[in-house]
Amino acid sequence: MKNHLRVLRAQHELSQATLADKLDVSRQTINAIETGKYDPSLPLAFKIARLFEQSIEQIFDDES
Amino acid sequence: MNTPTEPTQNNRIDRSKNHGQIQLSWAFALALTLVGSSALNKFIVAENTLWIWVVGSVPFLISFGALKAYLDYLKFADELTKQIELEALAFGYGAGMIFGIGYLAVAPGITQFDAGRWVIVMITMVMIVVRIVFLMRGHRKYR
């Protein structure tokens, strides 16, 4: 599943470690999501969407 | 940008790391007592005494602590770590089963009923080694 997490993180000038801190996950998890190797759980996807004030569909794209 | 509603400050990750270290300590203690009690029973404790049971039960009791520590570690681990652990456990268990069934199928003259303790030891070793290999693979894959 593709996502725009890396772009959003860059726009907000956050490092992977800082974003991981905010989401209460490991930096490894953020990296795995950004590279598309790992799809986050629904609670984590909601957390990400809430943090960046966007909908899940705006961040994650399951059709590409 | 919203701040998360829950108090985070990576509490979970810190706790996960602490529990990871505790879990490793228990695993180390288990390995030490397993080897230690086997050696004691083999070379020092006389057979057919109560001590052979007392010494032998120490690693058995410690294994409960190790299991509890591992479950606590999993409880506080983040979701990717849980997935890596689950994959590694599944591959380890599967490899052990395949090895066990395969060994009994091809080893000459051995059946399930007289396989002996070495087969159990080998199956356990295969499970442990494959689990470690897949843990390392998982951490490399998602690095």
B73 & B84 share domain: no
Residue A61, φ and ψ in degrees, nearest 5: -125, 110
**With contact defined as beta carbons under 8 Å apart, do A37 and A27 qualify?**
no
Q: Is residue A23 part of a domain?
A: yes
Residues making up chain B, counted from first to last: 143
B positions 2-31 inside 8 Å of A (CB): 2-6, 8-13, 16
Cα distance from B141 to chain A (closest Cα, Å)?
8
The ipTM, to two decimals, is: 0.84
Residue A27, φ and ψ in degrees, nearest 5: -60, -35
B53 & B2 share domain: yes
Write down the residue that tokens 């725009």 correspond to: A4
Q: What is the pLDDT along chain B (143 residues), one digit of tens a residue?
A: 665 544 444 577 777 788 889 999 999 999 999 999 888 888 887 777 888 888 889 999 999 999 999 999 998 888 999 999 999 999 999 999 999 888 877 776 666 666 677 788 889 999 999 999 999 999 998 87
Give the residue from B77, B105, B129 where a domain finishes: B77
- Inspect the interface and report whether the beta carbons of B13 and A26 lie closer than 8 Å: yes
Tally of domains within chain B: 2
pTM of the model: 0.79
Work out how many CB contacts closer than 8 A connect A with B. Answer: 63
- A41: chain B residues, CB-CB within 8 Å: 79
Give the residue from B53, B77, B101 where a domain finishes: B77
Euclidean distance between CA atoms A12 and A4, whole angstroms: 12
- Inspect the interface and report whether the beta carbons of B5 and A50 lie closer than 8 Å: yes
